[in-house]
């Protein structure tokens, strides 16, 4: 009894409100020792105000009305057609009694009244430039809006950032941050922290130069811009920059690690996720692949691409950087999410970030210093033998190196990596990270290419196919402390949706053929299927959970297949061309027979 009381007191003193389905449901996590960073994960309030749920990027709802004992009774309570049939990757967000959703291009923002069964309150139409659709490499997607201080912030495909009034939908300001004539688009969800609206560009396949931009949240004026390549002054590298590894130290490495002037069109776009530690005042984000894909045209480490930055949120000055994939040869860019945890490492508590990297390694990195504490494979990898923790360097497999004049076969993971942009979820209840990912390999040929502004800049031809076992998707429950899988589910199709973990020990995710699933999140459950329902289109969005105005718990997700993986349906593309969609079509030839294009919001709850 005394031991149980100690655990309960520890639970109650934590920064996250754990609404437990059973008295002992949180014991595994407490014994495990991993928990979200306290300053980045406030107590559960029943809302979902940013796509990642909180600055720690846990994508965890502490609500437990829906739990393992009753989730099988979930029913749809309302749906809403969004008016487009392109890929829907965004998370709905919920503030008070209003839900906000954004569509792919033309990027309409809808406000739905949850007190009136999802009836529209207003719609904002930003009118992005139609030409932006022609320079979107991987569908015209958008990954979400965010709420802060009475305003909704979002970006449009043509590189504009908007602030609109959350109550009325009235435009407050608009800022142009990208240039479609160069091939730049914006598809990411902004993050707002310390009065900064943070947003980065897409377009690494068009020879653009990556950047992260901070705007003043009140006025929309430029606060700072940090480039991913070029001289230190452009990358905002100064006296406070102290990378842990020697390979990342030196003057103007963003120029010297490239062929002459290659950094000017070298990629490193920042279209993924940003986390924020309010205690350290640092933001964390990854940079994308270098350009072109042909590595022979860009000898060197190609800094600062395919790595992760820590920056001061106010000034943008770099604090540290770690390059997970120097001289990226396989499009294994590093824009994935980083989950901020405090957990024991080698017997002592460390403030860390956990990153399921595109290259297939699960990184645990010290948030203050950038030291890699561990890097373990969570998917099948044959292109790299491991990561040397002393140097931080991956250990390549020479025979998998792409070379002109030949086809390099069976490179695993394929160009999307072991996991693409779709985010994981961490449960402080179970201590596990839930990772939706993919199992694809590829054949790759490279050739010389020329840069023409606003056009594809690749120099490679790729054909993707299922990896070992024949399944193309995997859903993994990963124990970050024990550095191993707790359980794993194999899915036939690649997983392109995000994950949602809840206080009822239920985790949700979707499949590309339209199944929305709930599985048992607990360590010993083997991911037992608890409930599933078929939606009108494939699911590549991010599910969320919230408390409605009536006090009930709801789960929401959008269906609408597309994105890079689903372009064969949403474009549509010819299945007879295996290299189409940068090689993804070859792996997805059966998708048009299994789902259709669509665009609908679904909201579920338990029956009254």
Rounded Cα distance, 223 and 564, in Å: 32
**Strand order in 318-323's β-sheet?**
274-277, 282-286, 307-312, 318-323
Catalytic residue among 331, 333, 420, 520: 331
DSSP-assigned letters across all residues of 261-315: TGGGG-B----S-EEEETTTTEEEEE---BSSS-GGGS-S--TTSSEEEEEETTT
54 as an active site residue: the answer is no
Query: Could you give the CA distance from residue 121 to residue 139 in angstroms, rounded to a whole number?
Result: 28
Helix (H), strand (E) at residue 92: none
Residue from 422, 420, 314, 271 nearest 360 by CA = 420
By CB atoms closer than 10 A (0-12, 13-18, 19+), residue 149 is exposed
Is residue 326 within 8 Å of 291, Cβ to Cβ? Answer: no
Coil, strand, or helix at residue 600? strand
Total count of residues recorded for the chain:
608
Cα separations in angstroms, 466 against 143, 331, 472, 584: 26, 17, 5, 11
284 and 337 Cβ atoms separated by less than 8 Å: no
Q: Is residue 331 among the annotated active site residues?
A: yes
Please answer whether residues 232 and 166 qualify as being in contact, where contact means their C-beta atoms are separated by less than 8 angstroms. no
d(CA 169, CA 345): 47
Closest CA to 91 of 185, 191, 205, 167: 191
Nearest partner of 526 among 470, 485, 483, judged by Cα: 485
296 assigned to active site: no
Going through 51-190 in order, the beta strands assigned E by DSSP cover 60-61, 75-81, 93-95, 98-102, 109-113, 119-124, 146-148, 151-155, 160-165, 171-176
Q: Which of 205, 302, 337, 342 is labelled catalytic?
A: 205
Tokens of 472: 């193309």
First to last CA, the chain: 36
| Active-site hit among 142, 289, 336, 422 | 289
Question: How many Cβ atoms sit within 10 Å of the Cβ of residue 364?
Answer: 22
CA gap 203, 349 in Å, rounded: 39
DSSP 40: G
- Give the CA angle between residues 336, 559, 333 to the nearest 5°: 15
Distance, in Å, from the CA atom of 313 to the CA atom of 224, rounded to the nearest integer, reads 10
205 CB-side CA count, 13 A: 18
Structure tokens, 433: 């990270």
Helices (H) and strands (E) in the chain, counts: 5, 39
- The residues carrying an active-site annotation are 205, 289, 331
């Amino acid at each position: 009894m005394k031991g149980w009381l100690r655990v309960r007191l520890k639970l109650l003193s934590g920064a996250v409100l754990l609404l437990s389905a059973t008295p002992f449901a949180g014991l595994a996590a407490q014994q495990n020792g991993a928990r979200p960073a306290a300053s980045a994960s406030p107590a559960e309030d029943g809302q979902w105000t940013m796509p990642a749920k909180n600055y720690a990027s846990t994508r965890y709802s502490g609500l437990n009305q829906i739990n393992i004992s009753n989730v099988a009774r979930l029913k749809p309570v309302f749906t809403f057609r969004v008016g487009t049939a392109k890929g829907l990757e965004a998370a709905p967000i919920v503030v008070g009694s209003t839900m906000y959703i954004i569509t792919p291009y033309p990027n309409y923002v809808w406000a739905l009244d949850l007190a009136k069964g999802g009836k529209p309150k207003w719609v904002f139409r930003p009118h992005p430039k139609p030409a932006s659709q022609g320079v979107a490499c991987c569908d015209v997607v958008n990954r979400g809006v965010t709420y802060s201080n009475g305003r909704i912030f979002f970006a449009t495909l043509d590189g504009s950032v908007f602030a609109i009034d959350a109550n009325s939908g009235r435009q407050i300001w608009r800022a142009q941050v990208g240039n479609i004539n160069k091939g730049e688009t914006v598809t990411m969800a902004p993050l707002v922290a310390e009065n900064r609206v943070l947003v980065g560009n897409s377009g690494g396949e068009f020879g653009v130069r990556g950047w992260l931009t901070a705007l003043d949240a009140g006025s929309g004026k430029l606060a700072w811009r940090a480039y991913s390549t070029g001289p230190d002054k452009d990358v905002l590298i100064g006296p406070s920059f102290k990378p842990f590894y020697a390979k990342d130290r030196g003057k103007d490495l963003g120029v010297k690690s490239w062929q002459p002037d290659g950094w000017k069109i070298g990629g490193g776009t920042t279209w993924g996720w940003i986390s924020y530690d309010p205690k350290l005042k640092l933001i964390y984000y990854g940079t994308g692949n270098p350009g072109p894909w042909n590595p022979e045209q860009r000898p060197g480490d190609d800094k600062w691409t395919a790595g992760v930055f820590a920056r001061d949120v106010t000034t943008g000055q770099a604090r540290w950087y770690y390059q997970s994939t120097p001289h990226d040869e396989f499009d294994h860019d590093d824009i994935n999410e980083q989950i901020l945890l405090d957990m024991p490492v080698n017997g002592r508590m460390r403030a860390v970030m956990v990153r399921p990297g595109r290259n297939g390694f699960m990184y645990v990195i010290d948030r203050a210093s950038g030291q890699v504490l561990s890097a373990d494979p969570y998917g099948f990898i044959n292109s790299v033998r491991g990561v040397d923790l002393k140097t931080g360097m991956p250990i390549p497999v020479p025979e998998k190196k792409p070379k002109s004049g030949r086809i390099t076969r069976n490179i695993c993971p394929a160009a999307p990596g072991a996991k693409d942009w779709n985010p994981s979820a961490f449960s402080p209840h179970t201590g596990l990270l839930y990772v939706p990912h993919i199992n694809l390999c590829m054949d790759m040929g490279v050739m010389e290419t020329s840069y023409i502004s606003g056009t594809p800049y690749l120099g490679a031809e790729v054909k993707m196919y299922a990896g070992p076992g024949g399944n193309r998707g995997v859903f993994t429950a990963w124990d970050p402390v024990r550095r191993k899988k707790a359980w794993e589910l194999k899915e036939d199709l690649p997983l392109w949706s995000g994950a949602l973990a809840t206080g009822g020990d239920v985790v949700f995710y979707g499949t590309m053929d339209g199944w929305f699933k709930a599985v048992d999140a607990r360590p010993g459950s083997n991911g037992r299927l608890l409930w599933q329902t078929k939606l009108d289109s494939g699911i590549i969005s991010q599910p969320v959970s919230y408390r409605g105005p009536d006090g009930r718990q709801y789960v929401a997700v959008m269906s609408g297949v597309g994105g890079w993986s689903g372009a064969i349906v949403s474009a549509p593309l010819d299945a007879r061309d295996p290299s189409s969609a940068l090689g993804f079509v070859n792996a997805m030839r059966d998708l048009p027979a299994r789902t259709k294009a669509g665009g609908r919001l679904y909201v579920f709850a338990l029956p009254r």
